[in-house]
Amino acid sequence: DAAEKGGYEHFMLKEIHEQPKGLEDTLNKRLKDGNIINLDGINMTKKDIEGFNKVYIVACGTAYHAGLVGKAAIEKMARIPVEVDVASEFRYRDPFVDESTLFIAISQSGETLDTLAALREAKSKGARILSVVNVVGSSVARESDDVFYTWAGPEISVASTKAYTTQLMCMYLLALYMGKEKGTIDGTYYAKVIEELKTIPEKLQHILDKEGDIEKLADIFYKREQVFFIGRGPDSGVAYEGSLKLKEISYINSFAIAAGELKHGTIALIEDDTLVIALATQDALFEKMVSNVEEIKARGARVIAIAKEGNTEIEKKADIVIYIPQCMDELTPLLSVVPLQLFAYFVAKNRGCNIDKPKNLAKSVTVE
């Protein structure tokens, strides 16, 4: 067991540290001649892409959160409307699916029963089925028309980390490919995103090298019984994932919400010393997040902000700022989730929780 953990105390920490490699592998499998995306084995011609009038992304848990970020990427780059749904909801509401629908199932294990059933439902209505899967030859992979594999390697910890970031990488590559074929993005933008994607493993490693800073924060806040996560745009998807990580392994009552929606109810719960983790990595939405932080500070919240290096303005508002390396707004989820994974890990460790096997949870849910 200890040998399998490669010197790490838990599989979760090992897997967090395997993310630079997983991302590099997932990217390299799909790049040829430097910056051409190669979708070999995936049947998706320009004509197919132009024929899709809608995309459904369906998944559960962490994979669903990868879908939220995937939606933003596909809508921005390929200009196709995308709906993201949890598999257990999609199945029971006679969704608008036909031959012009691209159905994307995201699943680490490829064995989640609800995701598999949703896939079968979409298939019976004529959709094209593409899955983003980690386990080669799994049920979801076998029943799909095409598979875009994540190259995360085996994920043992129940709380998913490297599967999530590699799922994001697949979604970015897919969105970029579709946008390029459709002509909704130009060559300069395409090349810029590819070059940035190549820098992500190193930037992620940079965050891991400073994990001691996050450990110190966990030492301060681990006794909390309630934590809120807020963000806008792609950051809201990451807020959901950060919140899920924390509740899964530390049993803290954590809650995530799109920051602009706070004032419609949740802000009623913010009082003196309430801990809020505010993701403010989007240059385009930075000022809006700064005012959200002001609003909650005015009610006494303790705020930890996540921002890009150089955006120091937030230091005047938040109590603590964690910086991630500079990168395009679209791609920050690949980096901003990492401090949240580490925070959840060190908080759970301080609380003495069973990190790799949290109570009541399974790695793969194969029942309804």
Q: Does an H or E element contain 323, and which?
A: strand 320-324
DSSP string, 119-144: HHHHHHTT-EEEEEESSTT-HHHHHS
54-59 sheet: strands from edge to edge: 82-86, 54-59, 101-107, 128-133, 146-149
∠ CA 206-62-304, rounded to 5° = 50
Piece of the chain touching ligand G6P by CB under 6 A; list 60-68, 92-100, 146-154, 174-182: 60-68
Piece of the chain touching ligand G6P by CB under 6 A; list 20-28, 142-150, 328-336, 356-364: 356-364
Residue 364 contacts ligand G6P per CB under 6 A: yes
Residue 160 contacts ligand G6P per CB under 6 A: yes
Tokens of 154: 């085996």
Residue 60 contacts ligand G6P per CB under 6 A: yes
| Least distance (Å) between residue 193 CB and ligand G6P | 25
In angstroms, the CA 334 to CA 337 distance is 6
| Least distance (Å) between residue 161 CB and ligand G6P | 9
Residue 115 contacts ligand G6P per CB under 6 A: yes
What one-character DSSP code corresponds to residue 363?
S
Tokens 């909650």 sit on residue: 296
What's the half-sphere exposure (Cβ side, CA atoms, 13 Å) at 299? Answer: 17
Q: Of 19, 112, 131, 311, which lies in the binding site for ligand G6P, with binding defined by CB under 6 A? A: 112
Residue 144 contacts ligand G6P per CB under 6 A: no
CB 311 within 8 Å of CB 327:
no
| Least distance (Å) between residue 99 CB and ligand G6P | 26
Residue 166 contacts ligand G6P per CB under 6 A: no
Residue 119 contacts ligand G6P per CB under 6 A: no
Residue 88 contacts ligand G6P per CB under 6 A: no
Residue 236 contacts ligand G6P per CB under 6 A: no
Residue 363 contacts ligand G6P per CB under 6 A: yes
Piece of the chain touching ligand G6P by CB under 6 A; list 1-9, 154-162, 282-290, 342-350: 154-162
89-108 positions binding ligand G6P, by CB under 6 A: 107-108
User: Which residues form the catalytic set?
Assistant: 363
Tokens 């993310």 sit on residue: 19
CB 109 within 8 Å of CB 363:
yes
Piece of the chain touching ligand G6P by CB under 6 A; list 25-33, 59-67, 207-215, 339-347: 59-67
Of the candidates 105, 120, 46, which has an alpha carbon nearest to the alpha carbon of residue 70? 105
The residue at minimum Cβ distance from ligand G6P is 61
In angstroms, the CA 107 to CA 241 distance is 15
Of the candidates 135, 191, 181, which has an alpha carbon nearest to the alpha carbon of residue 160? 135
Residue 303 contacts ligand G6P per CB under 6 A: no
Q: Which residues bind ligand G6P (CB under 6 A)?
A: 60-63, 107-109, 112, 115, 158-160, 361, 363-365
